Amino acid sequence: MTGRPTAPHAVRLAGLRKTYGDTVAVDGLDLEVAPGEIVALLGPNGAGKSTTVDLILGLSRPDTGTVAVFGRGPRDAVDDGLVGAMLQDGAMLEDATVGEMVALFAAVQPHPLPVADVLARAGLTDLANRQATELSGGQAQRVRFALALVPDPDLVVLDEPTVAMDVATRREFWAAMRRFAAAGKTVLFATHYLDEADGFADRIVLLRDGSVVADGTPRHIKSIVAVRTVRAVVPDLPSSALTELFGTDGVTVADTGAGHEVRIRTADGDGVLRTLLAHSPGAHDIEVTGADLEEAFVTLTDGRTAR
Ligand SMILES: Nc1ncnc2c1ncn2[C@@H]1O[C@H](COP(=O)(O)OP(=O)(O)OP(=O)(O)O)[C@@H](O)[C@H]1O
């Protein structure tokens, strides 16, 4: 099949399972990504992100379940130039410049973007004549990004795209991705970086042990766990009373001289605040802060943190 897709889903995974020996890398994964969505696959080491990416790109086959990319098999979608991929370990060609590498890849695509255009979009115009093997880690990542753009794809799939990029390069990279997505394209990226998922994706799929444990906007993920931190200085209660009221789990008490500074992590910020003020009317410097994605992630993955 050729031509631009009209399928309702950019990616559709159904009942996907992939094992390596005794290791279940992907465990009954169902996922639908609509055209135009920007989706982050977020999870700790070994959650199954790279395996899922490989299955979507047709680089490996599932034990059971199905993968459809714009309604086609993943290999067909790639061959038709619908998918651009940026993998963690894409090798650089020996004896080729950056420009030559991009041109070589463009030559085998059904509807490539012009090479100069790709180089400009990836911020590589000034590096076009550099040997591909003589690039810094961050520059090599930009070449991988350029190769993902070459097919003029409708979907890009990125596995940990900003590893090895410094802060400025990372910012430029996401700006380029935003321009790509603004044209109505679909982006699916795997990441450990909570701030990137939060800042760039409009949907986060949180994976653990090969399954989806949460799926929604960053705001939704945070609302599921509704973690709040209540902080206050309590001048009129001993720390034993604070422990009696709030327990020790998620509670820290520090002696400040002018009283105790207490921090309480809770799903019920309002309730904790009411109890605190009922027992300590003199409590002051009170702060209630909402969950950030890091906290949501830790809670949803049973305390296991990203990298
Ligand atoms: N080729 C392989 N052979 C054996 N086991 C594998 C292979 N690829 C992945 N695994 C195992 O499958 C599980 C999922 O790995 P995967 O690389 O998909 O996770 P990930 O979320 O991408 O992790 P990371 O963030 O560390 O890249 C892990 O337990 C991993 O050790």
- Regarding whether 195 and 267 lie in a shared domain, the answer is no
Residue 304 included in any domain: no
Residue 295 included in any domain: no
- Regarding whether 256 and 136 lie in a shared domain, the answer is no
Atom of ligand 1 nearest to the CA of 88: 27
Residue 299 included in any domain: no
Last residue of a domain, one of 201, 223, 245: 223
Residue 297 included in any domain: no
Query: How far is it, in rounded angstroms, from Cα 104 to Cα 265?
Result: 55
- Regarding whether 44 and 115 lie in a shared domain, the answer is yes
- Regarding whether 231 and 209 lie in a shared domain, the answer is no
Residue 145 included in any domain: yes
Q: Give the model's pLDDT for residue 306.
A: 40
Query: How far is it, in rounded angstroms, from Cα 74 to Cα 58?
Result: 5
Q: Give the model's pLDDT for residue 305.
A: 44
Longest dimension (CA), the chain: 75
pTM: 0.79
- Regarding whether 208 and 83 lie in a shared domain, the answer is yes
How far away, in angstroms, is 46 Cα from ligand 1 center? 5
- Regarding whether 234 and 186 lie in a shared domain, the answer is no
How far away, in angstroms, is 48 Cα from ligand 1 center? 6
How far away, in angstroms, is 187 Cα from ligand 1 center? 22
CATH of the domain at 259: 3.30.70.120
- Which residues have CB under 8 Å from 45's CB, separation 6+? 192, 307
Spell out the per-residue pLDDT of the chain, length 307, in tens: 445 666 789 999 999 999 999 999 999 999 999 999 999 998 888 889 999 999 999 999 999 999 999 999 999 999 999 999 988 777 777 889 999 999 999 999 999 999 999 999 998 999 999 998 888 888 888 899 999 999 999 999 999 988 878 888 888 888 888 888 888 899 999 998 777 888 899 999 989 889 998 899 988 876 666 678 899 999 988 888 998 999 888 889 998 877 889 999 887 888 999 999 999 999 999 998 876 666 666 666 655 444 3
ipTM: 0.96
Residue 105 included in any domain: yes
Query: How far is it, in rounded angstroms, from Cα 155 to Cα 199?
Result: 19
Residue 18 included in any domain: yes
- Regarding whether 213 and 236 lie in a shared domain, the answer is no
Q: Is the CB of 142 under 6 A from ligand 1?
A: no
- Regarding whether 97 and 200 lie in a shared domain, the answer is yes
- Regarding whether 27 and 174 lie in a shared domain, the answer is yes
Last residue of a domain, one of 223, 239, 269: 223
User: Are the CB atoms for 150 and 106 separated by under 8 Å?
Assistant: yes
Please tell me the residue having the least CA distance from ligand 1 atom 1: 20
Query: How far is it, in rounded angstroms, from Cα 218 to Cα 198?
Result: 6
Question: How far, CA to CA in Å, does 235 sit from each of 160, 216, 253, 257, 261?
Answer: 48, 41, 12, 9, 9
- Which amino acid is located at 47 in the chain? A
Query: How far is it, in rounded angstroms, from Cα 27 to Cα 23?
Result: 10
- Give the total number of structural domains in the chain: 2
Q: Give the model's pLDDT for residue 117.
A: 95
- Regarding whether 17 and 107 lie in a shared domain, the answer is yes
Domain carrying residue 255: 227-290
Please tell me the residue having the least CA distance from ligand 1 atom 26: 45
Residue 243 included in any domain: yes
Q: Is the CB of 49 under 6 A from ligand 1?
A: yes
Q: Give the model's pLDDT for residue 232.
A: 95
- Regarding whether 88 and 129 lie in a shared domain, the answer is yes
Q: Is the CB of 54 under 6 A from ligand 1?
A: no
- Regarding whether 213 and 253 lie in a shared domain, the answer is no
**How big is the chain, counted in residues?**
307
Query: How far is it, in rounded angstroms, from Cα 197 to Cα 204?
Result: 7
User: Are the CB atoms for 187 and 10 separated by under 8 Å?
Assistant: no
Last residue of a domain, one of 198, 223, 248: 223
CATH of the domain at 87: 3.40.50.300
Task: Identify which of 163, 126, 121, 119 has the alpha carbon closest to the alpha carbon of residue 141.
Answer: 163
